[in-house]
Amino acid sequence: MSRSRGHLRFEPLFTTEELGLPEHANIAHVVKVFLTIGDGVAARWIEMPKCVLLLQTVAGIPESGAIYLYDRERHQFYLAVFEQGREDALTTTEFEQLVAEYDLLGYIENRSNLTTLSPAGEA
């Protein structure tokens, strides 16, 4: 099935340990630290048992969003990278469309999909 932005992959960014956070840190604190590092705000925040899906934007610039995934089990952040189009200029409307079109919630909650994500530093 052809999708509007082509193939989607999740690029590993960093772990909570690399952010200086303890493994048992509260999820709200983890996300707050992540947003602070990027000088961003969470325009959308979808918390699920295995993951958190975020649309991070620059405050006051609605078309500045990027989609991030936080794997709660691995304590690892990922950036959603699309084959076509920019992944760092999304609006909340585009985010919602992409979540539905790519079935991101179903994808990230499927443990077999999460195990295919590379840990930071690996190809």
Residue 30 lies in a domain: yes
Number of domains in the chain: 1
Distances 36 to 13, 59, 81 between C-alpha atoms, Å: 15, 11, 21
Residue 119 lies in a domain: no
Residue 121 lies in a domain: no
Range of the domain at 38: 8-114
Residue 82 lies in a domain: yes
Residue 42 lies in a domain: yes
Residue 121: its pLDDT value, please?
A: 42
DSSP annotation string for 10-35: EEEEEETTTTT--TT--HHHHHHHHH
Within 10 angstroms of residue 109's Cβ, the number of other Cβ atoms is 15
Q: What is the pLDDT of residues 56-96, one digit of tens each?
A: 999 999 999 999 999 999 999 999 999 998 899 999 999 99
Residue 12 lies in a domain: yes
Residue 3 lies in a domain: no
Structure tokens at 30: 């983890």
Residue 2 lies in a domain: no
Mean pLDDT across 2-9: 90
